[in-house]
Amino acid sequence: MKGLVATIAALAVLSFFIGCSHKPPSVRVSNERTTKANVQFKQANGNTINHNDVAPGSSSNFQDAAVGVIVVTAVIQNENVSPTTAFTAVNDNNFTVVILNSSPPTLRVDTQST
């Protein structure tokens, strides 16, 4: 009897999650530096998303991404260092890669639930 109750409960939870709609993860860049930057998001599925010429003090628009690990590389105008970071993108979240105005330049990832 316990097994039957557990199976029914598991099916109820599974059907709840199947019935829910999920928004794909999305990514953008916020540039806190005084020079422009090009940022590449290498997704777990092998595809890339590029946000080019992100102006100083501005943010790019959000763009849908694939679920999974994303490796980010920033190429910053007048810098020899190209900082990188990685994060795991999950549904129902927006991710902002912040190019920090530090020396050497670094990246921070901010997450916001949708």
Per-residue pLDDT, 96: 98
Q: What is the CA radius of gyration of the chain?
A: 19
Q: Assign residue 47 the CATH number of its domain.
A: 2.60.40.2890
| Residue 23 vs residues 10, 46, 63, 90, 113: alpha-carbon distances, Å | 23, 20, 12, 9, 10
Q: What share of the chain has pLDDT > 90, as a percent?
A: 80
Per-residue pLDDT, 14: 44
- Residues linked to residue 101 through DSSP beta bridges, in sequence order: none
> Does some domain include residue 8?
no
Q: How many domains does the chain have?
A: 1
58-102 tens-digit pLDDT: 999 999 999 999 999 999 999 999 999 999 999 999 999 999 999
What is the pTM for the complete model shown?
Answer: 0.82
